[in-house]
Amino acid sequence: MKSKLITLLAVVSMLFAINKTNACTNYLVTKGASTDGSVMISYAADSHVLYGELYHWAAKKWPAGSMLDVYEWDTGKFLGKIKQAAETYNVIGNVNEYQVAIGETTYGGRKELHHQDGAIIDYGSMIYIALQRSKSAREAIKIMAELMAEYGYYSEGESFSVADPNEAWIFEVIGKGQGEKGAVWVARKIPDGYISGHANQARITTFPLKGKNTISSKKLSKIFDKNIENVYSEDVITFARKKGWFNGKDEDFSFSDTYAPVDFGGARFCEIRVWSTFNDVKAGMNKYWDYCKGDIQHAEKLANGHANINKYATNRMPLWVKPDKKVSVLDMMHFMRNHLEGTELDMSKDIGAGPFGMPYRWRPLTWKVDGKTYCNERTTATQQTGFSFIAQLRSNVQNIGAINWFSVDDAASTVYIPMYTVMTKTPETFAVGNGNMTEWSDNSAFWTFNEMSNWAYARYNLIHPEIEKKQAAYEKEFVDNTAKIDAEAMKLYKESPEKAVEYLTNYSVKQANRVVKEWKQFYHQLFVKYSDGNVKTKAEPKEGYKYVTPKLEQPGYGEEWYKKIVKETGEQFLMK
């Protein structure tokens, strides 16, 4: 009964994800590229109407003949029923008890292929169904491919990050549109020691079609062979030929350039977010800067010397890079907070940042002046994040599971809190049903962090540094305590697995509820300190005075902004 209730609440909550924008970001780090040998993926679920909460599906065994109702994640629309698995696994957010993690970004792709009548599987349901049924990344990919083939694919083009404690894969999918069932797709394993990413632009271009490391969907059962690193739907090329979208040799076929050709927006709003992380860890990424700004080149020849008869983009970034330094979980948190700092597109530096250097712009993303269209930058950190996470998948602690470092709201102004994926319940402050997008809840993590971030947007250069300091203190504490928490849990596991699960559940619940309570108090402190454009701090008491007047500073707008005012208004405000 509890499992059914949780599922029902999740469906009700997901009704508020209507009109999800194509605006999510994933980064993938392999074992050999991480500082501790873990596999990590990150995911920011970005939508102006997605309420951030921590989903939970409890492990369960189901009677023969059970059916599962499928509701579209974005809208809550009932799509149909599918066969339920005999057994489903515990899922905390986007990570399950077997340390399988899945994230996504929507790239859309060719509009002719959006949705198909009668299809039952949308991308969001596919994620959470696969998480409930898989024990490895390879099994998750197999399940997702089979679901689309059997029940049809309802959504637009999607890129998925699929990972477990040993491997990370990028899996790109697009439906076949009206008249044909299912989807065409490609899945590629990220080489160990490398990192990858995707952010609303399909990124798999060419891929091996033959060899001992590659299979088509005809041999999908062989995906569990550890030598297999590339898998694709058997008709991924023939379908494109039939539609007239691809000509030439099979070896020249590019999935992304055929099904989702990159344009100015695909580069400027999407690929630039992948670049921001690649640039953090790899020298020489500046050579892709012009591409990321939207300069898409279509040379006459491809890199292999063949004629570019399909007019593919020829200056694209690689699908993965080998970092010059290994990546930690704290680095991953840093990647999720990027605003293109240090580049010419740093949004805290232009006039749109206002006098307080705010690196955000209110939507719409594009706007017109005198008939010309202009754009704001779309960075990794954004105000409309519902929730985000870093999945830390650890092969050295199989019994106690992965850590889902979970947060809600703008990643730059929130705290990533460790949620062990063997948990049997979620914290009250993150629980499904505790508030929603149109209803306030005073102990909701989502509204607590929104309250703070929106206050910071008002005077960003003064308030946000205080948030960063507090944020860093929490996250360092949690990371530093991980080894101790793991050791105690593994000790308890030897006595009883149930004791270990209870211990980790209590730890994660306690830390989440604690942070939200203290963050609310922190907000009150900063509200008092920075209200009315002032900066008020406690002063020392003076002898003979009835009360202490706080120290008052009024920093105003800063010299550079005052100069801009004078330049704009001339002598309008000049005192004479």
**325 Cβ contact partners less than 8 Å away, ≥ 6 residues apart:** 281
Half-sphere exposure of 284 (CA within 13 A, CB side): 6
DSSP 340: -
Q: What is the predicted pLDDT for the residue at 20?
A: 46
What is the model's pLDDT at position 543?
87
pLDDT value, residue 22: 53
Q: Is 414 exposed, middle or buried (0-12, 13-18, 19+ CB in 10 A)?
A: buried
Q: What is the mean pLDDT of each run of 10 residues along the chain (576 residues)?
A: 37 38 86 98 96 98 98 95 98 98 97 94 97 98 98 97 98 96 98 98 98 97 98 98 97 98 97 98 98 98 97 98 98 98 95 95 95 96 97 92 97 98 97 96 97 97 98 98 97 96 98 98 98 94 89 94 95 94
Task: Find the length of the chain.
Answer: 576
| 266 vs 315: CA distance, rounded Å | 13
Q: What is the pLDDT of residue 398?
A: 79
Residue type, 122: D
For residue 465, with 0-12 CB atoms within 10 Å meaning exposed, 13-18 middle and 19 or more buried, which class applies? exposed
Residue 399's pLDDT is what?
86
Distance in angstroms (rounded) separating the CA atoms of residues 279 and 197: 12
CB atoms within 10 A of CB 342: 11
Rounded to the nearest angstrom, the gap between the alpha carbon of residue 358 and the centroid of all alpha carbons in its chain is 22
Q: Is 347 exposed, middle or buried (0-12, 13-18, 19+ CB in 10 A)?
A: buried
CA triple 101-103-109, angle to 5 deg: 145
